[in-house]
Amino acid sequence: MLVYLNGEFVPREEAKISVFDHGLLYGDGVFEGIRSYSGRVFKLDEHLKRLYDSAKAIMLRIPLEMEEMREVVLETLRRNNLSDAYIRLVVTRGEGDLGLDPDKCPKPTVFCIADKIVLYPEKYYREGLRIVTVPTRRNYVEAINPRIKSLNYLNNILAKIEGKLANAPEAIMLNSEGYVVECTGDNVFIVKRGVLKTPPVYIGALEGVTRNCVMDLAREMGIEVREELFTRYELYTSDECFLTGTAAEVIPVVEVDKRPIGDGKPGPVTLKLIDAFRRYAQTHGTPIYDT
């Protein structure tokens, strides 16, 4: 495997950064997880726009123009001869001293990794997930805004630990007011009486690229889509539930906190959207190689 690191492609074992890098010391940086399907990078421009928006929000100057970063992603895939892959693109504040001052970090670190990934076994897409809600609350919007896709993921990791302690492969997080926000790594949707609902981003949800794509696909299918607040009660009593994410794609949920969702099987709207998303992802995206 070759990894892009600060302008060079180096073998995986040589891809090293300083222990004084503030991305390591303080989680000071931003990242994107991106997928490629059949030789096309899915929603690359949307991912890059979010990366640069996240960096701007934390006053981190990315040393590459967006078009240059676009080529970094594509070339990383080419160098590793990958057409179906998961890409991790990371920008840290860079090497500094042991203090917090970002001005002591003169040069950001940029790296890009491309590899295979399977987040969930295929049986979960057929049978659905059984998940839980957890005590750890989503970060308060004005503390660390979750719309910034930062390297500081301890909030999500704590929730993930709580989910694993309950033998659940994923966990739903609430905000400080008790509203459903998102999972540790995925956005959450419910279906009630034919209406598709997902939490609005202003309560602390990441504006997921897959989330937005699924909402567009649902509208094209004539499904009413709403971004609105809902509690665990609406979740428990929903007809269907599913999660979306770059790695997870679209995956059904059939049980939350021991309550079966609907009839305890993946629902018809969910199954249609799984199929629609997979077909869309295979045929849309930025070509890795010039055609």
Same domain for 65 and 171?
A: no
> What is the pLDDT, as a whole number, of residue 203?
94
149 assigned to active site: yes
Q: Is residue 189 in a domain? A: yes
> What is the pLDDT, as a whole number, of residue 100?
96
- The set of residues, in sequence order, having a beta carbon less than 8 Å from that of 79 and lying 6+ positions away, is 2, 9
- What string of pLDDT tens digits covers the 291 residues of the chain? 999 999 999 999 999 999 999 999 999 999 999 999 999 999 999 999 999 999 999 999 999 999 999 999 999 999 999 999 999 999 999 999 999 999 999 999 999 999 988 778 899 999 999 999 999 999 988 888 888 999 999 999 999 999 999 999 999 999 999 999 999 999 999 999 999 999 999 999 999 999 999 999 999 999 999 999 999 999 999 999 999 999 999 999 999 999 999 999 999 999 999 999 999 999 999 999 975
The sign of the dihedral angle between the CA atoms of 42, 45, 46, 49 is positive
Q: Exactly one of 43, 149, 160, 197 is catalytic; which is it?
A: 149
> What is the pLDDT, as a whole number, of residue 119?
75
Neighbours of 36 (CB within 10 A): 24
> What is the pLDDT, as a whole number, of residue 291?
56
Same domain for 158 and 256?
A: yes
> What is the pLDDT, as a whole number, of residue 290?
77
The answer to whether the CB of 37 falls within 8 A of the CB of 89 is: no
Q: Is residue 230 in a domain? A: yes
CATH number of the domain encompassing residue 249? 3.20.10.10
Do the strands 129-133 and 109-115 form a parallel or antiparallel pair, or are they unpaired? unpaired
- The set of residues, in sequence order, having a beta carbon less than 8 Å from that of 41 and lying 6+ positions away, is 34, 35, 73, 74, 77, 87, 285, 286, 288
Which residues constitute the domain of residue 6? 2-115
Q: Is residue 291 in a domain? A: no
Neighbours of 216 (CB within 10 A): 12
CATH number of the domain encompassing residue 78? 3.30.470.10
Report residue 201 as tokens. 């981003």
Q: Is residue 290 in a domain? A: no
How far is Cα 177 from Cα 172, in angstroms, rounded to an integer?
Answer: 14
Same domain for 110 and 126?
A: no
